Amino acid sequence: MTSRGSIALLLVLVLAGCATSPSGGGLSSLGHEVDVRPLRGQSVELLKQDDAACESWTRSTKGPNEPLPAAELRYSACAMSRGYSVKPWDHRISPPANPSPDLASVVADLQACGIKRGLYDAAGMVLLGAVEAGMTESRRAEAWACLTQRGYAVDFQPDARAESIRKK
């Protein structure tokens, strides 16, 4: 195969990979950050609409009375309430299928399972940019077990970002 043919084939493969991305194109930075994936066959257009609504809700709930301390968690709660699985760190979380939880229920479940506790180090300081690294192994295990007992599917899926945060 000529070098021109190789380049053309490579370009076709790259473009095909982009077209089949599970999250679709045009998502907000939060949508990409938490790796949103449809669970109910939502169209790309509906995914974009839900992403915009969740990003708006996430930004509007930031402040002293925010329901969850990190934007990734607030966005994840919103996306799960709309029927998406999310992967804010190194675990993919899918909401219960029946009954499908509303936003207030997802937020309450994340709060009750102590997800917020894992955001603080021993001195009580918020760990910026290293949320997952700040959770101790036992707190992580307790939180994931709690969510599982509440009907969420939690699947460990390490990635390069999570591993690099842990090593810092």
Q: Are 76 and 69 in contact (CB under 8 A)?
A: no
HSE toward the beta carbon, residue 134, CA cutoff 13 A: 18
Average pLDDT over residues 66-85: 92
Does the predicted TM-score (pTM) go above 0.75?
no
For 126-148, what is each residue's pLDDT tens digit? 444 444 444 567 787 888 999 99
